[in-house]
Chains A and B, each alone.
Chain A
Amino acid sequence: MNRRKFLGAMGVAGLGVAGAEKVLAAEDGVTGASVKDVKGLPDSYAVLFDVTRCIGCRQCEDACNYEQHLPEPDVDFFDTGVFQQIRRTDWKTYTVVNQYDDKPPGAGDLYRKIQCMHCLEPACAHSCFVKAFAKRHDGAVTYDPNVCVGCRYCMMACPFNIPAYEYHIALDPLVTKCTFCEHRLKDDREPACVEICPTGAMYFSTREEVLKEARVRVVNNPDKYQSHIYGEHEMGGTNWIYISGVPFEDVGMRMDLGTRAAGDYTSGALGGVPLIASFWPVLLVGAYAISKRREKIAKEERDSFVSQIIAEAGPEAGRRLAERLSRSETLDKAAIEEEVRKALNEAAAKTEREDH
């Protein structure tokens, strides 16, 4: 954390932008950021989904399909047969209601709606290498189809398995996901799924208000609700908040995601990249210089031995020795001395032969 804070301070101080409002990270529920100078989005829109109130009528799925001009569903929205299996979002479904076994038996079936959680610090946006995703200040995580390359790293990164892909389209497939009805948010209207819900299972307001409402319900009905507000801190916090009467795992929600935003996991590695770019040249060119220097010293030693031989045994022996040494890969002193001794012996033998 210290390093991040330091970097944050550097960023602000270095560019002379003072007065950024200090908001303590993750403690007030408005930001998942671990950088101090991030303001957070307390006024962004959010939705509270109350698992105890959902009856599985699937009207939200219908409304979403209509509002987003999605293709005809495979199965009619009034058909409860779909509850036989757990479904997920796909290219023609931005939201899905699943049925879970009642616990304890007889307490009534449980239903939970799935859609994009609209993370405060979205993994999809952090992982996108063309910035196709944006976290809007009204809370929506939006997608720009005009730059998407289709690498699908967003789908890898999303801890909630939300983005889907048009695998069946040959040339211009896109990633699909819930838009938080961003066109409606712009007019301060709730998303279509919230509007149509007949049981009030969803409550739409600012994130601050939604968290307050969640706390009120949980605190006033301790026997009815789990004492956990899902999405307040999960993966740095989300703009869709869940409360439930049963453990969240029982309605298919992972409790082991942790509170760190997805981007936080990669910041260490990405922070190391500039280090490599700026310090590797030092080490590599340093190693090169050392090996060059060693070569130079070896060459000087070789040359001095060669001239010594020329002085003692004549130019011809010196020339042959120099040639042999230049082919030799071993430049250490012992080897050179060995070569010198051999050359001297040869020269001596030759002189002897010439003498006779």
Chain B
Amino acid sequence: MEFYTMLEFDIFTKNWAYIFMGVAVITMLGWWLFLTGQDEE
């Protein structure tokens, strides 16, 4: 990517940051279920 202003840089990076935040939260949930899936009650 080419950035002419910091604003352009921020828009680009923050867009991805929000997408990956969603990915992170959902992955963490799935990961916890996987991690504890074989636990005995």
Q: Is this pair of chains taken from one and the same complex?
A: yes
Q: Which of A20, A126, A270 contacts B7 (CB under 8 A)?
A: A126
- The B contact surface, by secondary structure, is helix
Given contacts A11-B1, A278-B28, contact A121 B21 (CB under 8 A): no
Residues in B neighbouring A7, C-beta threshold 8 A? 13
Interface residues in B1-41 by Cβ distance below 8 A to A read 1-14, 17, 20-21, 24-25, 28-29, 32
Shortest CB–CB separation between residue A23 and chain B, in angstroms?
Answer: 10
- A137 pairs with B4, CB closer than 8 A: yes
Residues in A neighbouring B17, C-beta threshold 8 A? 273-274
Residues in A neighbouring B24, C-beta threshold 8 A? 274, 277-278
Shortest CB–CB separation between residue A9 and chain B, in angstroms?
Answer: 12
- A261 pairs with B6, CB closer than 8 A: yes
Q: Which of B2, B3, B20, B25 contacts A35 (CB under 8 A)?
A: B3
Q: Does A191 contact B (CB under 8 A)?
A: no
- B9 pairs with A35, CB closer than 8 A: yes
Q: Does A96 contact B (CB under 8 A)?
A: no
- A41 pairs with B10, CB closer than 8 A: no
- A122 pairs with B7, CB closer than 8 A: yes
- A274 pairs with B1, CB closer than 8 A: no
Question: Whose C-beta in chain B lies nearest to the C-beta of A44?
Answer: B4
- B5 pairs with A33, CB closer than 8 A: yes
- B7 pairs with A263, CB closer than 8 A: yes
Interface residues in A12-63 by Cβ distance below 8 A to B read 12, 15, 17, 20, 31-35, 37-41
Q: Does A162 contact B (CB under 8 A)?
A: no
Q: Does A135 contact B (CB under 8 A)?
A: yes
Residues in B neighbouring A263, C-beta threshold 8 A? 6-7, 10
Interface residues on A, range: 35 or more
Q: Which of B5, B13, B28 contacts A41 (CB under 8 A)?
A: B5
Residues in B neighbouring A121, C-beta threshold 8 A? 5-7
Q: Complex formed: what's the CA distance from A281 to B21 in Å?
A: 12
Q: Which of B3, B7, B13, B29 contacts A125 (CB under 8 A)?
A: B7
Residues in A neighbouring B14, C-beta threshold 8 A? 270
Q: Does A341 contact B (CB under 8 A)?
A: no
Question: Whose C-beta in chain A lies nearest to the C-beta of B31?
Answer: A281
Q: Complex formed: what's the CA distance from A38 to B5 in Å?
A: 6
Question: Whose C-beta in chain A lies nearest to the C-beta of B25?
Answer: A277
Q: Complex formed: what's the CA distance from A32 to B7 in Å?
A: 10
Shortest CB–CB separation between residue A26 and chain B, in angstroms?
Answer: 11
Q: Which of A11, A41, A274, A281 contacts B9 (CB under 8 A)?
A: A11
- For the complex of A and B, the 5 pairs showing the least CB-CB separation, nearest first, are A33-B6, A277-B21, A278-B24, A281-B28, A38-B3
Binding site for B on A (CB under 8 A): 7-8, 11-12, 15, 17, 20, 31-35, 37-41, 120-122, 125-126, 131, 135, 137, 236, 261, 263-264, 267, 270, 273-274, 277-278, 281-282, 285
30 A-B pairs whose Cβ atoms sit less than 8 Å apart in the complex: A7-B13, A11-B12, A17-B1, A20-B1, A20-B2, A31-B6, A33-B3, A34-B6, A35-B3, A35-B9, A38-B8, A38-B9, A39-B3, A40-B5, A41-B5, A120-B5, A121-B7, A126-B7, A135-B7, A137-B4, A236-B6, A263-B7, A264-B6, A267-B10, A270-B14, A274-B20, A277-B24, A281-B28, A282-B28, A285-B28
